């Protein structure tokens, strides 16, 4: 059964960290929807300059964890830094985890997990410059291409996208036999 994955992003997301996992999810038969505080489209960051636009499928204020099976948080420095200032984005991260749904964060995106206060005692990874932030928020930080701790999936950088995507797809497949809520 196809699953619905919410991608939470705003301007300045790392182009490859949104598009490549999204494409892998869709190739695996899952549906993806981008939610953002911006309307119409957002622009990525690629190779030190602005990248390509991505269509926004849903305003952030309409996104609800109950309507999706997983949350994908692409990185880039600007994107998660701006999103962690959005109370709705932080609440959305909490809601997915409260509902035991996978939350996959790559690069700088684990900042959102720290801001949500959900990483104390958890095993995570992330971009090298945020590892101290993650540790200060109580996480056990590792330097591995993908770290899975319960429903939280984290990776370090674009080189890790294949393992990151596989871990998220695997988490969705594990839930295939779980009945949908009535």
Residues 17-51: tens digit of each pLDDT: 999 999 999 999 999 999 999 999 999 999 889 99
pLDDT of 181 over the 60 cut: no
Q: What confidence score (pLDDT) does residue 1 get?
A: 75
Whether residue 146 is contained in a domain is answered as: yes
Whether residue 181 is contained in a domain is answered as: no
Range 96-106 average pLDDT: 98
Q: What confidence score (pLDDT) does residue 121 get?
A: 98
For helices 161-174 and 15-27, the axis angle rounded to 10 degrees is 40
Whether residue 66 is contained in a domain is answered as: yes
Quickly state the pLDDT bin for 178 (edges 50, 70, 90): very low
Q: Domain count of the chain?
A: 1
Whether residue 70 is contained in a domain is answered as: yes
* Alpha-carbon span 146 to 165, nearest angstrom: 9
Whether residue 15 is contained in a domain is answered as: yes
CA distances from 110 to 3, 9, 76, 155, 180 (A): 23, 13, 11, 9, 28
**CATH label of the domain that carries residue 99:** 3.40.50.880
In tens, the pLDDT along 57-84 reads 999 999 999 999 999 999 999 999 999 9
* Domain extent at residue 87: 4-174
Whether residue 182 is contained in a domain is answered as: no
Whether 124 and 154 have beta carbons less than 8 Å apart is answered as yes
Residues identified as active-site: 107-108
In tens, the pLDDT along 109-165 reads 999 999 999 999 999 999 999 999 999 999 999 999 999 999 999 999 999 999 999
Q: What confidence score (pLDDT) does residue 112 get?
A: 98
Q: What confidence score (pLDDT) does residue 176 get?
A: 55
- In terms of Cα–Cα distance, which of 173, 145, 147, 172 is closest to 157? 145
């Amino acid at each position: 059964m196809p699953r619905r994955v919410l991608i939470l992003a705003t301007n300045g997301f790392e182009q490859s960290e949104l598009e490549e996992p999204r494409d892998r999810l869709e190739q695996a038969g899952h549906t993806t929807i981008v939610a953002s505080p911006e309307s119409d489209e957002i622009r990525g960051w690629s190779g030190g300059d602005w990248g390509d636009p991505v269509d926004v499928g849903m305003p952030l204020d309409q996104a609800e964890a109950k309507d999706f099976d997983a949350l994908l948080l692409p990185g880039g420095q600007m994107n998660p830094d701006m999103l962690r200032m959005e109370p709705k984005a932080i609440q959305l991260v909490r809601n997915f985890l409260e509902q035991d749904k996978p939350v996959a964060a790559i690069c700088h995106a684990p900042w959102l997990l720290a801001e949500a206060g959900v990483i104390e005692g958890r095993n995570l990874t992330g971009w090298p410059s945020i590892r101290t932030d993650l540790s200060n928020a109580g996480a056990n930080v590792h330097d591995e291409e993908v770290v899975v701790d319960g429903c939280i999936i984290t990776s370090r950088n674009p080189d890790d996208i294949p393992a990151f995507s596989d871990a998220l797809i695997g988490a969705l497949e594990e839930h295939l036999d779980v009945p949908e809520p009535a």
